[in-house]
Amino acid sequence: MVRILLVIAVGITACAGPIPRDGEVPAGYSNIWEDGRELIVISAPSVNDPYYADDFEAILDFDIRFAAAVLGRDNIVVLADRETMPRLEGKLPGDILLRASVPDIWIRDFAPVSPNRSVRFSYRPRYLKPADARFIQTGFDLFARRRGLQFATAALVLDGGNLVDNGEGRAVVTSRILEDNPGLTPGEAAAVLKSALGLSQLAIIPEEKGDATGHADGMVAWASADTLLLNRYDEPFRSMVLAALEEGFPGVGVIEVEANFSPEVRDGFASACGLNVNAVTTERFIYVPVFDHPADREFLKTLRRHTDREVVPINAESVCSLGGSVRCLSWQVSGENARRLIEAARK
């Protein structure tokens, strides 16, 4: 049985301010607490982290571009440690910058998933040494406690990048969840996830060969509550994925899109360059990674045809070779947790 624990925090009140337009720093607050806005959180790399030293400037430039694209649409907070923060100051509004020592940039994976029902799963990916995974999760939990964040925890091993939900009761994971939780049958794993996240339907699709992470968010993206975009794969893998989606989501439309797959592998991680599906979907917007490739235009055209949200392209060429992009490098937060982080950044 999976235990669900709830940590309660005391609420605070956030203020409102004008929406910034055309990149201007507003006279009031950049983030606005109102219906229809979701908070996106980015964790900047530390200038002291040797692993990201060669890519530090490229990642930071991407974080700035991403944050600038979100400003005026949804809410955005960028986390950075004391030594890194001066590299962001003056390039982004000061009231969206929050000093924090979050241990890694891939915050999607170790932070709580599904903003509508915030649940933090156990972060024990096989592609990391156990000690490194514990360090990252412990560091995030310390940050969350300091900020008084509230979320449930489930003793099920699952990276956030391996859960792609539509916010309305449907979610996709890959079969990596069964490998990471060998004591569970597919039916038991589905039951645990449905209970923890309030899901009505779940599809467990085969994981992509050669992907060390086994994440679903490099394979699929929701265009709407009942329309899923799927990378076009070669047979027989294509038919296996389509069959799993049909079993999990009878009646849901699956639209296959061309992906400009990159053969590059770096430190054991397959490149995310060309994977437009690694997108962040909020109530009113879809933030899509693009790579200055002709396939981008066709993907954006297809997506816009199947969604009523505004589609916002974000160039991810500078980070995709690391193995992720827009979705992998962000965390979506709503409710009181969002209010707390917005208020903390304003201080």
Instruction: Check pLDDT > 80 for residue 14.
Output: no
pLDDT digits (tens, 9 = 90+) for 229-286: 999 999 999 999 999 999 999 999 999 999 999 999 999 999 999 999 999 999 999 9
In this prediction, residue 24 carries a pLDDT of: 43
In a domain, 315, yes or no: yes
In a domain, 19, yes or no: no
In this prediction, residue 208 carries a pLDDT of: 95
Instruction: Check pLDDT > 60 for residue 8.
Output: no
- 210: CATH: 3.75.10.10
Rounded to whole angstroms, what are the CA distances from 260 to 56, 207, 312?
A: 25, 18, 19
For residues 307-324, average pLDDT: 98
In this prediction, residue 116 carries a pLDDT of: 83
- Structure tokens, 327: 């979705």
CB atoms within 10 A of CB 102: 24
In a domain, 1, yes or no: no
In this prediction, residue 6 carries a pLDDT of: 35
In this prediction, residue 138 carries a pLDDT of: 97
User: Could you tell me what percent of the chain has a pLDDT over 70?
Assistant: 92
In this prediction, residue 28 carries a pLDDT of: 84
In a domain, 10, yes or no: no
In a domain, 42, yes or no: yes
In a domain, 12, yes or no: no
For residues 99-125, average pLDDT: 95
For residues 177-192, average pLDDT: 95
In a domain, 13, yes or no: no
Higher-confidence residue: 115 or 42? Answer: 42
CB atoms within 10 A of CB 215: 28
In a domain, 27, yes or no: no
Instruction: Check pLDDT > 80 for residue 9.
Output: no
pTM of the model: 0.91
Number of domains, the chain? 1
Mean pLDDT for all residues in the chain: 92
In this prediction, residue 123 carries a pLDDT of: 97
pLDDT digits (tens, 9 = 90+) for 75-91: 999 999 999 999 999 99
For residues 325-333, average pLDDT: 98
In this prediction, residue 155 carries a pLDDT of: 87
Domain boundaries, position 162: 37-346
Report residue 3's pLDDT band, with 50, 70 and 90 as the boundaries.
very low
